[in-house]
Amino acid sequence: MSRVFVPKDSGARSVGADAVAAAFAALGAEVVRTGSRGLYWLEPMAEVETAAGRIAYGPMAPGDAAAALADRSDKRIGLLAAFPPFARQTRMLFARVGLIDPLDYRAYQAAGGGVGLAAARAMTPDAVIAAIKASGLRGRGGAGFPTGIKWQTVSQAEGARKYVVCNADEGDSGTFADRMLMEGDPFLLLEGMAIAGHAVGADKGYIYLRSEYPDAEATLEAAIAAAPFLDAAFSVELRVGAGAYICGEETALLESLEGKRGMSRAKPPLPAISGFMAAPTVVNNVLTLAAAPAILAAGAAAHAALGSGRSLGTMPFQLSGNVRYPGLYEAPFGLSLRTLVEDWGGGTASGRPLRAVQVGGPLGAYFPAALLDTPLDYEAFAAAGGMLGHGGVVVFDDTVDLARQARFALAFCAHESCGKCTPCRIGAQRGVEVVDKIIAGEDRPRQRAVLDDLLEVMRDGSLCALGGLTPVPVQSALDWFPEDFEREAGS
């Protein structure tokens, strides 16, 4: 009887993976549901186990199952190890995703899981922190803060109780790496949290998950119940949000976790000093925590050997929008945006010229084609007036209107503002009105002056980065695509 691997990833399911799995089962195959390999244009994908390895097919329809089992399908992709879109990646974080049943702990161990935690628990907390520092690991949630320094701060802070909080709010449009990892390899995240707990002296961890991810919720619940390394010495609780982008901002997240409105706190104090319930708290992104096990298992030097400049290790870049080959591509930092978008992504899906690329979510800059040679690393993006954020890259063709995208950025901020400070709460709403006037061709020079002023106030006067960074996409649209703000009204 053949063994067939079909993703249970919510993305794969959204295009029919359940029906494909059922078709294989009906033909007598043993079906193992896995995470997704991230080659989404080929989903639903199926891999049939053979003596030569797993032969991939996709995109599959239920009617293709019989031909795949007989290896005479025109959907044949072959071994992924020999398929360039997969083979040229450097899979570190996502090494296991798509290979195993995410909730099969034995399979997790057989594929190298658990080694990092065992190594960490045999070390002193200070030695673990030293290893994380030496690896050069920086937070994957957006700001790129050095993780070892954060853990050290929590470790050294006074507090009867300390906490590890995983930020699984993943609100940025164009990002889905956290979701794929939680659905596809949840034990890895839990192992990383346990390592953090050991390092900082915390006995409790929380995962704050956005409510838009019901499949990840079910998988995490099951993984928490099944993980043999979670016990009274370190336990994890899952907390589900209720639809608020701002709750991805770490202090708003902590307020929400405390059962309050998700309103950002003034910093200082940093969460590392006074976080959840005023206790020293590590707040890290899913991918940051998931990077820890490999660093402890394979050594800090192996992590630090990859990447460029001060951006070390790999990043799972997420490519979407109007692009031919959308998906998750893990590679060392430093890959050029052009390589990702044109070579790996195949350019626009529409076949029309590429006009803009938004990198780093709704608070990230819109780059024109002229900036495609920017390397994907934190410093290079900052120098070009953008930010890498959580690694999302959204492609737009020449039908995009950047004045409308600028309006959307402001409207999104107005919609998601927590309301605590005026520049953001009022400024974003005023910004929408002003851009509307510019689009309508009303008194443009004056409105433009008002907009410039408004963006400056938001940038410099906002309490947190929602208001502070919303000017970034707007400014980039104004700087790189001024013609979109000068069009004849109504055209």
* Shortest spacing between CB 167 and ligand FMN, in angstroms: 4
Return the number of the residue (80 or 424) whose C-beta is nearest ligand FMN. 424
Cβ atoms 331, 87 nearer than 8 A? no
Q: Report in angstroms how near the CB of residue 6 gets to ligand FMN at its nearest.
A: 29
Query: Does 340 participate in binding other proteins (rule CB under 8 A)?
Result: no
Among the listed residues 121, 133, 239, 352, the single contact to other proteins using CB under 8 A: 239
Residue with tokens 């020999």: 82
Cβ distance 4 to 46 under 8 Å? yes
- When CB distances are held under 5 to 8 angstroms depending on the partner's kind, the choice from ligand SF4, ligand FMN, other proteins, none that residue 285 binds is ligand FMN
- Smallest gap from Cβ 120 to other proteins, in A, equals 26
Burial 345-381 (b: 16+ CB within 10 A, else e): bebbbeeeebbbbbbbbbbbbbbebebbebbbbbebb
Tell me if 46 sits within 8 A of 330, measured CB to CB. no
Q: Which does 421 bind (CB under 5 to 8 A by kind): other proteins, ligand SF4, ligand FMN, none?
A: ligand SF4
The residue from 117, 129, 142, 170 that contacts other proteins (CB under 8 A) is 170
Residue 288 engages ligand FMN in binding (rule: CB under 6 A): yes
Q: For the beta carbon of residue 288, count every other beta carbon within 10 angstroms.
A: 25
197: enclosing H helix or E strand: helix 186-200
Indicate whether 9 belongs to the interface with ligand FMN (CB under 6 A): no
From candidates 47, 249, 255, 330, binder to ligand FMN by CB under 6 A: 249
Give residues with Cβ within 8 angstroms of 476, minimum separation 6.
365, 366, 367, 385, 386
Q: Which of 167, 322, 358, 470 binds ligand FMN (CB under 6 A)?
A: 167
Query: Alpha-carbon distance 326 to 328, whole Å?
Result: 7
Counting contacts by CB under 8 A, is residue 319 touching other proteins?
yes
Nearer to other proteins, 172 or 249 (CB): 172
Q: Give the CA diameter of the chain.
A: 73
Q: Which residues contact 127 (CB under 8 A, 6 or more apart)?
A: none
Tokens 């195949």 -> residue? 346
Could you tell me which stretch among 48-56, 78-86, 371-379, 462-470 binds ligand FMN (CB under 6 A)? 462-470
169 binds, among other proteins, ligand FMN, ligand SF4, none (CB under 5 to 8 A by kind): ligand FMN
Residue 328 interacts with other proteins (CB under 8 A): yes or no? yes
The Cα–Cα gap between 208 and 187 comes to: 16
Contact indicator for 182, 168 with CB cutoff of 8 Å? yes
Q: Which does 11 bind (CB under 5 to 8 A by kind): other proteins, ligand SF4, ligand FMN, none?
A: other proteins
Cα separation values, 77 from 39, 93, 149, 431, 445, Å: 11, 24, 44, 49, 56
Q: Give the span between the Cα atoms of 295 and 192, in whole angstroms.
A: 10
Minimum CB separation of residue 464 from ligand FMN in Å reads 5
Residues that bind ligand SF4 (CB under 6 A): 246, 264, 417-421, 424-425, 462-464, 466-467
Q: Which residues here bind ligand FMN, judged by CB under 6 A?
A: 139-143, 145, 167, 169-171, 246, 248-250, 283-285, 288, 464-466
Q: Which residues here bind other proteins, judged by CB under 8 A?
A: 10-11, 13-15, 38, 40-41, 43, 170-176, 178-180, 211-214, 237, 239-245, 256-262, 276-277, 318-322, 326-328, 349, 358, 362, 392, 394-397, 400, 405, 408, 412, 416, 418
